[in-house]
Structure 1
Amino acid sequence: MEQQCPKIEAALQHLLATVRPKLVYLYKHRISDQGETVGFKFCVVTQVADPVELERRLYLAVDCPVTFGLLVYTPEEWDVLCRCPGSFAHEILDRGELLFQQEGAGAPL
């Protein structure tokens, strides 16, 4: 992972303190004309029974001074959708930046 914006790094650390994901991607990063981060989005791949409930919990747990978004996939959903050209997961895999990979998780697709 390259040197990350402090706002993104802090949000990532809050996220990692709340959940143990397999993968975390940064897939949007909005920067102002002054070069400041004004928003970003994470894609989180983790084993969870209810991805929507986890998204809600993460929004409450992650303290961030700028707008951020979350998208949660189970590993099974991620594996299937990443193999489908045109899917949003495939686009994130192709264009997103891998910020975190669980040790022993193997290479992303």
Structure 2
Amino acid sequence: MKIKDLGDVIAVRRFKFESKLTSEIIVAIGKPMPFPDSDDYYVPYQIKGIGDEHIRFAGGIDAVQCLQLVMKIIGSELWVINEPLTEKIIWDGDENGSLGFPD
């Protein structure tokens, strides 16, 4: 399934590079919605400011499960993006090197 937009955005987290306060990476999560041909749900998300910026989604048996899964998926994607960088991405709530998403 290809998603063209996030729909209603329910959550946003902003990141920056450690020393470049003007560069911004934004994670946006859309509202969970039922798949068009199923009782299952999906939640769209997008990471903007780094990478390909494609809109992706996590699916689940219900809205709660897809929200749980999207948090883990975003955490994994951010780790993959951040790990090879010499200058790490951070967010304002970061106290110990965490990006604020589950591992």
After TM superposition, is the score higher than 0.5? no
TM-score (norm 1): 0.31
Between Structure 1 and Structure 2, the one with more helix by share is: 1
Greater relative contact order structure (CA < 8 Å, 6+ sep): 1
Flag the structure with larger Rg: 2
